[in-house]
Amino acid sequence: MGADEVSGLCMMRNGGRLLVDSLVALGARKAFGVPGESFLAVLDALHDTEGRFDFVLCRNEGGAAFMAAAWGKLTGEPGICMVTRGPGVTNASIGIHTAMQDSAPMICFVGQVGTDMKGREAFQEIDYRAMFATVAKWVVEIDRVERIPEFLARAWTTATTGRPGPVVIALPEDMLTSLTEAVPLTAPARIAEPAPSASTMDEALARLKAAARPMILVGGCNWTEPGRADLQAFAETSDIPVIAAFRYQDQFDNHSPVYAGEAGVGMPAHVKRQVREADVILALNVRFGEMTTDGYTLLSVPVPAQTLIHVHASDREIGKVYQPALGIQAGPNAFAAALRPVRGGWGEWRARARADWEAGFDLPPQPSPVDMGLVTAHLREVLPEDAILTNGAGNFTVWPNKFFRFGPKARLLAPQSGAMGYGLPAAVAAKIAHPERTVVCFAGDGDFQMNCQELGTAMQAGAQPIVLVLNNGIYGTIRAHQERSYPARVSGTTLENPDFTMLARAYGYHAERVERTEDFPAAFARALASRSGAVLDLSISPEALTPRQTLSQMREAALAAKDKT
């Protein structure tokens, strides 16, 4: 037997084996999914990669896709999702959409009907190119087994470069069982970040130096530690305030004297003022979404009043909504490395921005058995510096998003898509990626029940986070809108919940119901000490819907306004 045959380079493989061997070579470590008969050949190949490339068995494809999206956001590697055709991938579509809006690298493999049945509306058949054309960076179906390495190489590069995002790959069942001598990939392509030219940097820095009220807006998930450090050093030396884009406040050290808050949902007045009053904005690695721009009102469309310097690795993001005074196609880390300090007379502007952000932590007592203002303050004190926080969607997200201080080692996994149910799967993925770190999921009672079955995934994977269920018995965000628009006409927003502690214990978790604020510190200490994860069911009053306005106050204000009309 020749050396090549011994090493396995020249041998017959089926498509499933070729796919898995190539993914291992690319650096894939985990695949999140739910099994299906359409990709049995892939599952069979995964039998032989345990410990190198593992299949994390999830309870629902939506949870699996959320885990893959969170993995990509946390690690910078494509999160791998494997689901079956039809119902499997339609369940997974929520995670694909979330990865797209988060600009997170992800590859979703979907079983497909055999090539001999395509176009007949066969059992569970879907045209994936048509279905995912607008919510994925690239959608492809591999009809010839020998092209698997080619398409995987392109998918990995597509998912991770430019504006990172999801790729969907359909795998016909008969293609996966076909044999081929095609050679698997051996390594991912090494693609350098695009870097700015010296003349472009000179112009950008000159515009900043000429400013009276400069500001840096930072976002995106493809930062490196050196890149973040370079940006922080520039901002601090130049004394320029930094605002984080929606749910990317973990990408800049909140303890830095130049950090001034997050431009996201529920945007504080001082952040809105900061963006409006800035005369030069350096937007670095930012996708200009609705939340970061307060419904596209903080900057005029298409030409902002502010001088906009927009830096992004993808040329398609520059000028997509706002025409910049200077657009620079460059990766965030390469651009940050090229920055040189600038000086100007904006020290008072920066100091005011920071002071306004600090003042936002002063809260009135919350009208609730468990006061989340005090709970979050306690978490700021006791959580380790490398804690990972996650959340889904709902009014409860104000606590991890607006009242936690993310240091350089802490991370936030939260969906720009506003998808409910993201927090728990994201926490499971984070705990799998970093089993040694403390992972805390914030979940509303409605949000938690979107994917609470993934407690079983965590139990089976030995990756059980701490879950804080903010249980107020309502869909809080919708109730708030309801009371503001249709006061005193409650419809479809009241929840009747199960006993969450019993549910959690059934999945092997430590679980407690916390009825009073003063009981939280001891309960959380027990949660930290638990080896089996923990679910703390927190008694929250519906009145404590926002930190500074009660539900009754919303209703009364809306009724008063209605009476005037």
Q: What is the pLDDT of residue 3?
A: 40
Question: Which spans in 296-344 are helix H?
Answer: 332-338
- In the predicted model, is pLDDT for residue 378 greater than 60? yes
181, 12 contact by CB (below 8 A): yes
What's the CATH code, domain 372-564?
A: 3.40.50.970
Q: What is the pLDDT of residue 153?
A: 98
113 — pLDDT class (breaks 50, 70, 90): confident
Beta partners for residue 511, in sequence order: 535
Task: Give the mean model confidence (pLDDT) for residues 157-162.
Answer: 97
Task: Give the mean model confidence (pLDDT) for residues 332-346.
Answer: 97
Superfamily in which the 198-359 domain is placed by CATH:
TPP-binding domain (3.40.50.1220)
Listed in order, the ranges of the chain carrying CATH 3.40.50.970 are 3-180, 372-564
Distance CA 436, CA 398 (A): 27
Distance CA 234, CA 18 (A): 46
- In the predicted model, is pLDDT for residue 7 greater than 80? no
Alpha-carbon distance values, 144 to 25, 30, 171, 172 (Å):
20, 25, 10, 9
123, 105 contact by CB (below 8 A): no
Task: Give the mean model confidence (pLDDT) for residues 538-550.
Answer: 95
One-letter identity of residue 437:
R
Express each pLDDT in 319-335 by its tens digit. 999 999 999 999 999 99
3-class SS of residue 284:
strand
- In the predicted model, is pLDDT for residue 286 greater than 80? yes
Buried b (16+ CB within 10 A) or exposed e, 245-275: bbbbbbbbbbebebbbbbbbbebbebbeebb
Q: What is the pLDDT of residue 9?
A: 55
Q: Under 8 Å CB-to-CB from 486, ≥6 apart: which residues?
A: none
Express each pLDDT in 204-254 by its tens digit. 999 999 999 999 999 998 999 999 999 999 999 999 999 999 999 999 999
3-class SS of residue 236:
helix
26, 188 contact by CB (below 8 A): yes
Q: Under 8 Å CB-to-CB from 147, ≥6 apart: which residues?
A: 182
Q: Phi-psi category of 188—alpha, beta or left, where left has phi over 0 and alpha has psi -120 to 50?
A: beta
- In the predicted model, is pLDDT for residue 172 greater than 60? yes
Q: What is the pLDDT of residue 462?
A: 97
Sheet-wide strand order for 307-312: 259-263, 242-245, 214-218, 280-284, 307-312, 326-329
3-class SS of residue 347:
helix
Express each pLDDT in 300-315 by its tens digit. 999 999 999 999 999 9
Task: Give the mean model confidence (pLDDT) for residues 362-381.
Answer: 98
* H or E stretch covering 391: strand 388-391
Q: What is the pLDDT of residue 6?
A: 41
Kindly report the pTM of this predicted structure: 0.96
Listed in order, the ranges of the chain carrying CATH 3.40.50.1220 are 198-359
273, 243 contact by CB (below 8 A): no
Distance CA 401, CA 412 (A): 8
Tokens of 56: 């994390």
Total residues belonging to the chain: 565
3-state helix, strand, coil in the chain (%, to 5): 40, 15, 40
For domain 3-180, which CATH number applies: 3.40.50.300, 3.40.50.970, 3.30.1330.200, 1.10.760.10? 3.40.50.970
Percent of the chain with pLDDT over 70: 98
412, 370 contact by CB (below 8 A): no
